[in-house]
Amino acid sequence: MRYLKKTRYLQDINLFKHNGQRFWYGLLLLVMCLAPLGLDRFLLGELSLVYIYAIAGVGLMLLVGYSGQVSLGHAAFLAIGAYAHAYFLNLGWPFPLSLFTSMLLTGLIGGLVAIPVLRMSGIYLAVATLAFAVIVEQTLTHWESVTGGFRGMLVPKPEFFSADLNAYIPFYYLCGGVLILVMLAGLNLLRSPTGRAMVAVRDSETSAQSMGINLARTKSTAFAISAGFTGLAGGLFAHKIGYLAPDAFTLLTSIQLLLMVVVGGLGSMHGVIYGAIFIGLLPSGIAVFRDAVPPSIGQIPGLEPGVFGLILVLFLIYEPLGIYGRWQKIRLYFEEFPLYRRSTYKRQKTYLRTERLR
Amino acid sequence: MSLLVAEGISVSFGGVKAVQDVSFSINEGEVFSIVGPNGAGKTTIFNLISRIYNTTGGRLFFDGVDITRVPAHSIAHLGIARTFQNTELFDRETVLKNLLIGAHIHRTSNVLSDLFFLPGVRRQELAFRKAAEDVIDLLDLRSYRDQVIANLPYGVRKMVEIARALCLKPRLLLLDEPSSGLNPEETEDLSFWLEDIVEDLGITVAMVEHDMKLVGQASDRVLAMADGKVIALGTPAEVQTHPEVLRAYLGD
Ligand SMILES: Nc1ncnc2c1ncn2[C@@H]1O[C@H](COP(=O)(O)OP(=O)(O)OP(=O)(O)O)[C@@H](O)[C@H]1O
Ligand SMILES: [Mg+2]
């Protein structure tokens, strides 16, 4: 194990716990900045997409991983952000104002949706959020005056001080910059009372209430922030795909987003990045797979959703801590080699004198 | 002066009358114990005070304020903290994080200032941390500070739960079977800590407890219950020798 000798309370409060971390994150930032030098247009585009997913991932992670509320409808928030942003741009609003307003609007809708929905939990909550996503999808198809219905709607090119952000290198930096800001905001929440209240609600509602935490308010705040970040991702996503149509935001998208946080590792911000890389690469992986196997298997229509669902279930059963959890175990294995104890991460069972519960 | 007054409180679950017409008052600065056989309704009384359940009859007053119908999350803000019989900690977080959640009611920051981690939030975090460290020192939890609750033995969890409740800086502390799961030495430590909590911190304590030795040592007054009803109320010695109490424990 690694031991960190702490000498000041601020070490727990500050974002970076020690200089080693500062070094590694600095290096990561440098790599992010230099990536356009080494990557071609296609790969840079893919990386931008990974950043966009990660922005939504931070939002979804706060909700699912830290507040314990499942959402099967996050594609709806992605869609609201995307459509709102495109709509405002079409009205001639400046780019930053439009993006910011879309984020606030989506956050507001998220907070409002939470009010009826947060009385439910577990599977009921999942179904309710799913229903919400269906309603939004229907609205997108039928509210033609705003959304263009089935025909869809063109997303104006982003411009900022006459710089053309749509060119692939500026767009890459735009997505990267927004991701860093969102990540910082997420980490800030987690080290302050708002985030702790979410965690408390996740682990024990009864206890959270007795600590003076307002369940309804905490959950709707979590929904609002989560929706807001996802809406922000939606705005960027709109530019990425260039043309909005309802079929870009289906149940499959919601599952993909959920897959990202589960695969990355619930309850870890690092996991968001791993998860985003994973779902960013997965479609290419599936395409390679389609080509490699005989057409009778490769051309099965529902292959993608099937694979997504399968991976989700496998992770939930075998590695609930996700890729990040797996990485920590592997790191520990090498650090302790050859003395690694297999049971290190096994949950210890405790026996109580009174097992009778409520 | 009475800090908490219960006037004929009752509640039933389906057909079970868990608590029937129970009245008592807890004086400021005392240790008030509730005893009784399994299923007597002791925990239910705590759940009524902390507003997890609604009373079906009677009224509750805290410091003169009627709390019979206030929302559950307001109870902590009024100055009542509690622990749970089988511990209800935030299992996936560290001891320290649990204690910081205990300080939640003292927050002055809001979502926006938290998002940007403004200087005020940083100062608040430092203040919370200092308060948590004081409690850690008091209850000797230093070596567990950074450990995740799920990995801790049961006895330690019980102490962490008391520590978390102390972080609320309550006026009334409700302890549900604090000694269950503790070994004899730990129980002895607990009785000293109880003294510290009452005398040094000036907190009034109400506890449900099965360990009669601890009850006798620590409490000023004892309420004995059976089948949801009060059967005796008085000093530990009075209650322990009360014929009804003996009958309830030993059976006929
Ligand atoms: N939520 C509930 N739903 C249904 N019945 C309940 C509930 N809570 C308590 N009861 C019932 O109320 C009665 C009193 O329970 P309570 O937990 O208060 O007993 P207790 O005195 O704390 O016992 P113990 O010493 O075993 O903890 C029991 O018969 C119990 O089954
Ligand atoms: Mg009980």
pLDDT at B117: 92
Distance from the Cα of B234 to chain A's closest Cα (Å) equals 27
* Residue from B39, B217, B90, B238 nearest A202 by CA: B90
Q: Is B142 on the interface with A (CB under 8 A)?
A: no
Q: How many CB atoms within 10 Å of residue A267? A: 22
C-beta B219 within 6 A of ligand 1? no
Fold topology of B1-79+170-252: Rossmann fold (3.40.50)
Cα B139 to Cα B183: distance, rounded to the nearest angstrom: 16
Distance B145 CA to ligand 2 centre (A): 28
pLDDT interval class at A1 (50, 70, 90):
very low
Nearest CA to ligand 1 atom 17: B43
CA dihedral in degrees (B239, B245, B249, B252; nearest 10)?
150
User: Measured from the CA of B47, which atom of ligand 1 is nearest?
Assistant: 18
Which of B86, B180, B181 is facing A357, going by the closest CB pair? Answer: B86
Q: How far is the CA of A212 from the centre of ligand 2 (A)?
A: 22
Place of tokens 């601020």: A10
Residue B113 with chain A: CB contacts under 8 Å: 192
Q: Where exactly are the structural domains of chain B?
A: 1-79+170-252, 96-169
Bridge partners, residue A159, by sequence: A164
How far away, in angstroms, is B174 Cα from ligand 2 center?
12
Q: Do B91 and A192 touch (CB under 8 A)?
A: no
Whole-model pTM: value is 0.87
pLDDT digits (tens, 9 = 90+) for A244-280: 888 888 888 898 898 888 888 888 888 888 889 888 8
d(Cα A227, Cα A64) in Å, to the nearest integer?
A: 12
Res A4: pLDDT: 62
Asked if residue B28 lies in contact with residue B204, where contact means CB atoms within 8 angstroms, the answer is yes
Question: Chain B contact for A58, CB < 8 A?
Answer: no
Integer CA distances (angstroms), A19 to A8, A23, A25, A59, in order: 14, 6, 10, 28
Task: Tell how far the Cα of B177 is from the centroid of ligand 2, in angstroms.
Answer: 7
Partner residue facing A194 (CB), from B50, B77, B111: B111
Residue of A nearest to B183 (CA): A353
- Smallest Cβ–Cβ distance between A13 and the set B114, B122, B154 belongs to B122
Residues 207-226 of B with CB under 8 A from A: none
Residue B128 structure tokens: 């919370």
Name the residue in chain A with its Cα closest to that of B76: A212
- The gap from C-alpha B98 to its chain's centroid, in whole angstroms, comes to 16
Taking each helix axis from N to C end, the angle separating A95-117 and A74-90, rounded to the nearest 10 degrees, works out to: 150
Q: What pLDDT was estimated at residue A358?
A: 31
What pLDDT, in 10s, does the model give residues B112-141? 999 999 999 999 999 999 999 999 999 999
Return averaged pLDDT per consecutive 10 residues of chain B, 252 residues in all: 91 90 94 92 94 92 93 95 92 92 94 92 93 92 91 91 95 93 88 91 94 90 92 91 82 60
Is the bond preceding A156 in cis, omega lying within 30 degrees of 0? Answer: no
* Domains defined along chain A, listed by start: 39-343 (1.10.3470)
Average of per-residue pLDDT values in chain A: 83
Interface residue B107 vs chain A (CB under 8 A) = yes
Measured distance between the N- and C-terminal CA atoms of chain A, rounded to whole angstroms: 38
Instruction: Decide if B150 and A348 are in contact by the 8 Å CB cutoff.
Output: yes
Distance from residue B169's CA to the centre of ligand 2 (Å): 24
B56 contacts B40 by C-beta, under 8 angstroms: no
CB proximity under 8 Å: B 12-31 to A: none
Task: Give the nearest ligand 1 atom to B42 CA.
Answer: 21
CB B84 to CB A189 under 8 A? no
The mean per-residue pLDDT over the stretch A313-321 comes to 73
Residue pairs spanning A and B at CB distance below 8 A: 129
Task: Express the helix, strand and coil content of chain A in percent, nearest 5 each.
Answer: 75, 0, 25
Interface touch B164/A352, C-beta < 8 Å: no
**pLDDT beyond 60 at A242:** yes
d(CA A61, CA A229): 11
Question: Across chain A, how many H-helices and E-strands are there?
Answer: 16, 4
Task: Write out pLDDT tens, residues A134-151.
Answer: 999 889 888 988 887 777
ipTM of the complex: 0.90
- Interchain pair B104, A194: CB under 8 A: no
Contacts of A207 in chain B (CB under 8 A): 84, 88-90
Higher pLDDT among residues A358 and B136, named by residue: B136
A267 shares contact with chain B (CB less than 8 Å): yes
Interchain CB contact of B133 with A (< 8 Å):
yes
- Which of A2-11, A119-128, A182-191 shows the highest mean pLDDT? A182-191
Put simply, whether A344 touches B (Cβ < 8 Å) is: no
Determine whether the interchain pair A352/B154 forms a contact, defined as Cβ–Cβ distance below 8 Å. Answer: yes
Q: Which residue has the higher pLDDT, A327 or A201?
A: A201
Q: Does residue B114 contact residue A194 with C-beta atoms inside 8 Å?
A: yes
Gap from B111 CA to chain A (nearest CA, Å) = 6
**Is the beta carbon of B127 within 6 A of some atom in ligand 1?**
no
